Structure formats: structure tokens, C-alpha cells
Chain A
Amino acid sequence: DAGVTQSPTHLIKTRGQHVTLRCSPISGHKSVSWYQQVLGQGPQFIFQYYEKEERGRGNFPDRFSARQFPNYSSELNVNALLLGDSALYLCASSPQGTQNTEAFFGQGTRLTVV
């Protein structure tokens, strides 16, 4: 079975540009979450979506937005990129996205802002 897939795997953008990251969850999973992992740190929660509705949002500026599509895939959008946005962006899926269930992570998208 395919796991969580993310695209692209690597991306280089210039400050001020916009970026869209994509995630396909495991088949049957209705919840998708996004995390940012800066080098040397643990992942930080950005968003969770369940059944196309935003269920939670982390402490990130409004430049960060996301959405979930009817097939449960998801996009993370970041506007007006800053150097500090350089990080590994991880997508995770789970069947129901409840507090007591584990999340399954993709390999991530490495974003470099220059």
C-alpha cells in the first residue's frame, strides 16, 4: 500500500515568492496535518484538516494557508516567503485524526528560500 506522498521533494524559492506543497494521504485516511521542521528542531504543527474542514491551526502567520480536497489530498500554501521559512515540511495522515490515534508521515518537502 502506498504511504503518504508529498510533492515536490525539494524546492528552491526566492524571498517574496509563493509556494504550494502537495500531499496525498494514505487511502482511506480522511485527516491531513501539516508540520514545519526547521533544522535541528522538532516538527511544529501548522494545520489539521478533516473532511475538508480546518480542525486546528498552529501559531503561524496568515501567510500560511491550506486546504483539503474532496479526495482528501491537501495543499499547503505559503505567501511572501521569508528566509526563515526554509524547512522540511511534513504532511501526515490518519483515518479520523483524533487525539488518541497515530499519524503517518510522508517523507517531506525540503523548501529552501534564498
Chain B
Amino acid sequence: AQSVAQPEDQVNVAEGNPLTVKCTYSVSGNPYLFWYVQYPNRGLQFLLKYITGDNLVKGSYGFEAEFNKSQTSFHLKKPSALVSDSALYFCAVSVAGFQKLVFGTGTRLLVSP
């Protein structure tokens, strides 16, 4: 079965420091990978995606993600964290030939002032 794993329930980082939120995937065929963010009592907001091409993908709000095929990883990164980045982050893989997203369990990011 195609899946993603987010090994960290929570990531703590100080404002201004770089952040990384980890995601590994298990898929057959080409992986279509996504990152979404969820603020309290809100839906999901799209951040970025990897379809093909450059392994470093740039997205919204200064976020980027690095696709690593050999390590089957798609980690989310940001050079300098903001307190407003504190939220729940989900990695997802698109499967089945249509738009079925399989989400990880989520990682809560807490950025302290």
C-alpha cells in the first residue's frame, strides 16, 4: 500500500532558526508528493508539491522541500522560522491514478519567540 510517514509528532524550534519537518514515503511508481498546513479549526492549505524534475521544490510562505529518491524522503524546510509558522503540517502522497491523497499523521510545529 502507498503511504507516507511523519516520524515526529512535534517539532520545536526558536524563531529565526531553520526548521525541518520530516516525511518518508512508500509508493510504487512515480511519487506525487505534497505538503499541506492546517491552522486551528481550519481546513488544509497547500504549500508545495513534487511531481518531477528539480529535487528542491519551492512553495508558499518561504517553505521548500527536498525530494530524495534514494532515501524515499520529502522533508519540508524553511531557512528562518516565524512564530506564525506554528501549525499542524501534513505530508501526503497522491495515489490511484486519480486525486486520492493519502496523508501522514501530521507533525505539530511550535515556533517559540
Q: Total number of A-B contacts with CB less than 8 angstroms?
A: 72
Of B12-20, B39-47, B61-69, the one contacting chain A is B39-47
Q: A42-B90, A45-B102 are in contact. Are A107 and B32 (CB under 8 A)?
A: no
Of A12-20, A69-77, A90-98, the one contacting chain B is A90-98
The answer to whether A58 touches B100, judged by C-beta atoms less than 8 angstroms apart, is yes
Query: What are 8 A-B interface contacts by the 8 Å CB criterion?
Result: A33-B101, A43-B90, A48-B99, A56-B98, A92-B44, A98-B99, A105-B43, A105-B44
The answer to whether B90 touches A55, judged by C-beta atoms less than 8 angstroms apart, is no
Instruction: Report which A residues bind B (CB closer than 8 A).
Output: 4, 31, 33, 35, 41-45, 48, 50, 55-56, 58, 90, 92, 94, 97-108, 110
The answer to whether A102 touches B43, judged by C-beta atoms less than 8 angstroms apart, is no
User: Is the C-beta of B95 less than 8 angstroms from some C-beta in chain A?
Assistant: yes
